[in-house]
Amino acid sequence: MASNGSSTSTTDVNLTKPLRCIVKLGGAAITCKNDLEKVNEENLEIVCSQLRQAMISSEKVVGMDWSKRPGSSDTCGSVDGLEDQLRADSNNFIVVHGAGSFGHFHASKSGVLKGGLDQPLVKAGLVATRISVGILNLEIVRALAREGIPSIGMPPFCGWSTSVGNIAAVNLSVVAKAIESGFIPVLHGDAVLDDLQGCTLLSGDVIIRHLAAHMKPEYVVFLTDVFGVYDCPPTEPNAILLREIAVGEDGSWSVTKPTLQDMNKKVEITVAAHDATGGMVTKISEAAMIAKLGIDVYIVKAGTTHSLKALSGELRDNIPDDWLGTVIRFSR
């Protein structure tokens, strides 16, 4: 009997065929933000269809969810004709999704983030949070499978742990093995055990940064509910979409397109301005750390022609002028 060959977070993983893309399905893009535990079915379906187009060369959709849908006695897939199917070549992808209107309520109400499993509320909250994000993960895995994407849910609780919020242990070989076998791992922001504080929340963005650092995807796509990163909350009338952000060797970043001159604005884009957009600085910082590795990051609106271009890798050589989104790139 062999060991499971687990990799610690300091070991890189080499795949036979390189990892094409890690894609984040933002919670705001695939759930109804203000409606507790409601999937945005319409958006999710378009996102999954675009992912199929980006991943699989065949046009034919072979449904892989053969289970009953709630409220229906029919199963939704058919196995007929599968034997004759062309063996479509597929690209290596990893999908990571946020929680959106799932999990957040449960986690914040109980204080899972700060830990303390000796408190009944925290312990119950961890269970409740994991159930809620588990419901969402299953819905996403099924939606991907219905599009013929061989998706496998891989809850981070099983294998990832932290130490005061920082990733302490990960079994990347399990993710790599699934990819090598032709599957698409579907991870998500999750409540996990923490060596020192008992438990915490591990965000999808932190998971992506870790996966990117050790599995070196060609590019990373963040699908959101707005066109990209703005200089102020995008709901404001004068909000300007930041087209390109350059990241230096030291991890610092600056907006290179539009230039301040283009923007015809007198104020500089300050950290404070970004903070108002609700954690956009955190998002850019995470993206900047990925870009620093030489991996292009695209932040783009889900379900648009722009997201399809980003997912398909069409932006790697040249970004068309009519493309709407934010590119975050390493610049020496």
Length of the chain: 332
Q: Which is nearer to a copy of itself, 60 or 265 (CB)?
A: 60
Helix 204-215 vs helix 172-180: crossing angle, to nearest 10: 70
Provide the minimum distance between the beta carbon of 161 and a copy of itself in the complex, in angstroms, as a whole number: 7
Q: Which is nearer to a copy of itself, 154 or 242 (CB)?
A: 154
Strand ranges in 136-252 using DSSP code E only, listed in sequence order: 151-153, 161-163, 166-169, 184-188, 190-194, 198-202, 219-224, 229-230, 241-242, 244-247
Q: What is the DSSP letter of 232?
A: S
Q: Which two tokens stand for residue 223?
A: 């699908």
Provide the minimum distance between the beta carbon of 331 and a copy of itself in the complex, in angstroms, as a whole number: 28
Q: What span, in angstroms and rounded, lies between the C-alpha atoms of 309 and 34?
A: 29
Provide the minimum distance between the beta carbon of 86 and a copy of itself in the complex, in angstroms, as a whole number: 8
Provide the minimum distance between the beta carbon of 75 and a copy of itself in the complex, in angstroms, as a whole number: 7
Q: Which is nearer to a copy of itself, 62 or 287 (CB)?
A: 62
Q: Which is nearer to a copy of itself, 194 or 231 (CB)?
A: 194
Provide the minimum distance between the beta carbon of 101 and a copy of itself in the complex, in angstroms, as a whole number: 11
Q: Which is nearer to a copy of itself, 15 or 260 (CB)?
A: 15
The position carrying tokens 């009944």 is 120
Q: Which two tokens stand for residue 273?
A: 């301005």
